[in-house]
Structure 1
Amino acid sequence: MKNKIEGVIYGMAIGDAMGMPAELWGRNKVRNFFKDYITEFLDGPQENDIAKNYKKGQFTDDTAQALVILDSLFENNFIPDKKIIAKNLLIWAEKNNAFEQNILGPTSKEALKMIKNNLEPIEITKKALSNGSAMRIAPIGLLFKKNQHQQLVDYVFKVSQVTHTSDITISGASIIAMCVNSALYKTNFEEILEDLYLVDKLALQVGSETYSPSMTKRIKLAIEIANHFKGKDIEFIDELYDVIGAGVNISESVPTAVAIAYYAKNVNKAAFLAANLAGDTDTIGAMACAICGAYTGIEEIDKNFVKIIKESNKVNFDFYIKKIETYLKEKGI
Structure 2
Amino acid sequence: MRNLDKMLGTLYGQAIGSAMAMPTTGWARERIIKEFPLPITDFMDGPKTNPLAQDYHRGQYTVSFQQALVVIQALHASHWEYDQETVSQHLLDWARRIKAYEKDTLDDTSKVALRLFAGDKDITRITQVAVDNGAVVRIPSIGALYTPEEKMPLVEMVYQISKITHETDVTIAGSALIAGAVCAAVADYDWDEIIEFALVTSELGESLGAPTYSARIKQRVRLGRHIAEQFKRRPAGFVRAMYELVGTGAAVSESVPTALVIAYYTRDVRKCAQMCANIGGDTATIGALATAICGAKNGWQSIPKDWCGLIDRQNPPQDLKGVGQQMLTFQPLSSSQNS
Indicate whether the TM-score tops 0.5: yes
- 1:324 counterpart (327, 330, 335): 327
AA paired with 1:65? Q
- For the residue of structure 2 that corresponds to 1:172, the secondary structure is helix
Query: Which letter does structure 1 place at the counterpart of 2:258?
Result: T
Please tell me whether the aligned partners of residues 8 and 300 of structure 2 are also in contact (alpha carbons under 8 angstroms): yes
CA deviations over 1:138-194 (Å, ceiling 9, x no partner) = 000111122322221111111112101111111100110110000111332111111
| Alignment gaps of 5+ in structure 2 | none
Q: Is the 8 A contact 2:268 2:295 kept in 1?
A: yes
Cα deviations by residue, 1:29-71 (Å, 9 ceiling, x for unpaired): 1111122311111111111111111110000011100001011
What is the CA-CA distance between 1:200 and the residue it aligns to? 2.0
Moved more, 114-123 or 103-112: 114-123
- The verdict on how the C-alpha distance between 1:180 and 1:331 changes in structure 2, with shifts beyond 3 A counting, is farther
Structure 2 Cα separation of the partners of residues 252 and 330 of structure 1: 33
Amino acid aligned to 2:43: F
Read off the aligned partner of 2:154 and give its amino acid letter: L
User: Which residue pairs with 1:304 in the alignment?
Assistant: 306
Q: What does residue 90 of structure 1 align with?
A: 92
Counterpart residue type for residue 148 of structure 2: K
Task: Give, in whole Å, the separation in 1 of the partners of 2:237 and 2:167.
Answer: 35
Moved beyond 6 Å, runs of 4+: 329-332
Give, in angstroms, the shift of residue 107 of structure 1: 1.1
| Counterpart residue number, 2:18 | 16
Computed over aligned residues only, the root mean square deviation of the Cα atoms, in angstroms, reads 1.6
TM-superposition CA deviations, 1:223-253 (whole Å, max 9, x none): 1111111122222111111111100000000
Identity over aligned residues, as a percent?
36
Separation of aligned partners in 1, 2:235 and 2:334 = 40
Counterpart in 2 of 1:38? 40
* Alpha-carbon contact 1:147-1:182 (below 8 Å) kept: no
Distance in 2 between the 1:121 and 1:183 partners? 34
Q: Are the counterparts in 2 of residues 81 and 159 from structure 1 also a CA contact under 8 Å? A: no
Matched-pair contact (CA < 8 Å) for 2:147–2:184: no
What is the rounded CA distance, in whole Å, between the counterparts of 1:75 and 1:252 in structure 2?
34
- Cross-structure match for 1:207: 209
The whole-number CA distance in structure 1 between the counterparts of 2:189 and 2:173 is 23
TM-score, with length taken from structure 1? 0.96
Within 5 Å, give how 1:181-220 maps onto structure 2.
181-220=183-222
Contact kept, 8 Å, 1:4 with 1:294, in 2: the verdict is yes
Residue 113 of structure 1 aligns with an amino acid whose one-letter code is R
Distance 2:179 2:172 in 1: 10
Distance 1:282 1:243, change over 3 A: same
2:57 paired residue number: 55
1:135 Cα offset (Å) = 1.4
SS of the equivalent of 1:38 reads: coil
Provide, for residues 97-135 of structure 1, a one-character-per-residue CA deviation record: whole Å limited to 9, x for no partner.
Answer: 111212101211111122233322111101110011211
SS at match of 2:324: helix
2:229 pairs, out of 221, 227, 230, with: 227
Tell me the equivalent position of 1:117.
119
Q: How is 1:148-297 mapped onto 2 (pairs within 5 angstroms)?
A: 148-297=150-299
Paired residues, number: 332
Gaps of 5+ in 1: none
Q: 1:295 to 1:327 in 2, by over 3 A?
A: same
Secondary structure of 1:327 counterpart: coil
Structure 1 residues 185 and 331: alpha-carbon distance in aligned structure 2, compared to 1, 3 A threshold: farther
Q: Distance in 1 between matches of 2:26 and 2:143?
A: 27
